[in-house]
Amino acid sequence: MSAVPRWALLSAGGAPLFLIGGWTLAQAAQPDEFDPVRQTISALAASNADHRWIMTIGLAGLGLCHLITALGLVTAAPAGRGLLALGGLATLVLVAFPQRPAGGSMTHVVAAGVAFGALAVWPALAVPRRAAPPLGRDHRHPPDGSAPSGPARWTAFAVAAVLLGLLGWFAVELFADGARIGLTERLVAAAEAAVPLAAVLAALASERRRGPSGPR
């Protein structure tokens, strides 16, 4: 029996579908002057947006998917799962407090910042630390047949670094009121939505490699 439930694969796959499908449909419902390169995803769910329910459902589905994936990704370290869940919860909070045309919403801004930050950092904390092997045992060949955590940890750090780089680019555009605010936000949001799916697929692939003799 798989340690990672199959429904975690469905929730992880649903995250990018809700996000990208949501903004694609919502953008199509906006007036011609809407500029996805300049305007944010939140503008599609703002209180004055045309057919705002489309992006509202997309963001709510994204947040729920992250929460469900965090629950099912039992092979990840608790700290990483906690940050993934925090990112999902913060996404639901920003849905509950949409962007307003006048003055904005501080709760929305804070929730968006927490969501982006948590979803960028969680991969670096998701790889479990391997206990030191007993004296005389070769650490290169763990008794459970799994691969050492070193390569996985460096991969996770690299993924987090890329996500933080994209997030930094978006932050620069946002605070400088640049011309690519919407584009950079969509890049980092799409990348963050896809990483949990990659993590679940990697966990399932690792279980298949271990085979029926591995621990459950």
SS (H, E, C) the chain: CCCCCHHHHHHHHHHHHHHHHHHHHHHHCCCCCCCCCCCCCHHHHCCCCCCHHHHHHHHHHHHHHHHHHHHHCCCCCHHHHHHHHHHHHHHHHHHHCCCCCCCCCHHHHHHHHHHHHHHHHHHHHHCCCCCCCCCCCCCCCCCCCCCCHHHHHHHHHHHHHHHHHHHHHHHHHHHCCCCCHHHHHHHHHHHHHHHHHHHHHHHHHHHHHHCCCCCC
178 in the Ramachandran plot: left (φ > 0), alpha (ψ -120 to 50) or beta?
Answer: beta
Q: What's the pLDDT score for residue 210?
A: 73
| Residue 138 domain flag | no
| Residue 171 domain flag | yes
Number of domains in the chain: 1
148 in the Ramachandran plot: left (φ > 0), alpha (ψ -120 to 50) or beta?
Answer: beta
Query: How many Cβ atoms from other residues are within 10 Å of residue 84's Cβ?
Result: 29
Q: Is the pLDDT of residue 148 over 50?
A: no
Local confidence band at 198 (pLDDT 50, 70, 90 cut-offs): very high
Q: What's the pLDDT score for residue 2?
A: 63
Q: How far apart (Å, rounded) are the C-alpha atoms in residues 111 and 89?
A: 9
| Residue 96 domain flag | yes
| Residue 73 domain flag | yes
Residue 194 belongs to what domain range? Answer: 6-126+147-206
Is pTM beyond 0.85 here?
yes
Note the pLDDT tens digit of each residue in 2-58. Answer: 689 999 999 999 999 999 999 999 999 998 889 999 999 999 999 889 999 999 999
Longest dimension (CA), the chain: 69
| Residue 214 domain flag | no
| Residue 32 domain flag | yes
| Residue 93 domain flag | yes
Q: What's the pLDDT score for residue 144?
A: 43
Q: How far apart (Å, rounded) are the C-alpha atoms in residues 198 and 12?
A: 8
Note the pLDDT tens digit of each residue in 77-118. Answer: 999 999 999 999 999 999 999 998 766 689 999 999 999 999
Q: What's the pLDDT score for residue 101?
A: 79
The letter for the amino acid at 116 is F
CB contact at 8 A, 3 and 216: yes
Backbone phi, then psi, for 6, in 5-degree steps?
A: -65, -25
Note the pLDDT tens digit of each residue in 158-174. Answer: 999 999 999 999 999 99
| Residue 142 domain flag | no
